[in-house]
Amino acid sequence: MAVRPIIQLGNPVLRQPSRPVEQSQLEEVRELARDMFETLMDFRQQYGYGRGIAAPQVGVNLRVVVMALDGKPLIMINPRILRHNGKKELFWDSCFSCPNLWFQVERYNQVTVEYRDMDWQLRVTEAQDGLAELMQHELDHLDGRQAIDLVKDTSSFCTTDEYFSRHWQDKER
């Protein structure tokens, strides 16, 4: 396992759509997922927040997302949103690829996501509120979209310290 460098905003790799994973690539994806989880946990230790990372953020153009839910990894291979409830709301967002910057984005507050797990089993999960926002954020990375593209009002930009001092209300970092 290894902590991988995180690709920063402006690098063209982040704007490229990712390739689907084939079942024959599972061993490669296992190693990638372990490294992504380690990278995610390292980021959390350095910055004090972070719940998910997409493969393009570590320079790999595959449709893989790793999230830390209750301290455990959730690995999503070839995830896609099946449906949403049609209701959008404003969420505070940040990104490992532009650390120390927070902003408001508008996203669906409920989504249903289909993905393959590490045993290549097809899974479907429903997410609401902050988890729904996180899943949309990470899946956007797989399509070459950045959260910063969704900023509704540039006056919402703030640093991590300012965000935590004004907006943090017992939410999981």
Category of 29 on φ-ψ map: left (φ > 0), alpha (ψ -120 to 50) or beta = alpha
CA distances from 102 to 60, 96, 99, 162, 168 (A): 25, 11, 8, 9, 12
Q: What angle do CA 57, 60, 66 make, to 5 degrees?
A: 60
How many beta carbons lie within 10 A of that of residue 67, not counting itself?
21
Is 106 an annotated catalytic residue? no
Three-state SS for 65? strand
- Active-site residue identified among 27, 31, 114, 138: 138
Residues identified as active-site: 138
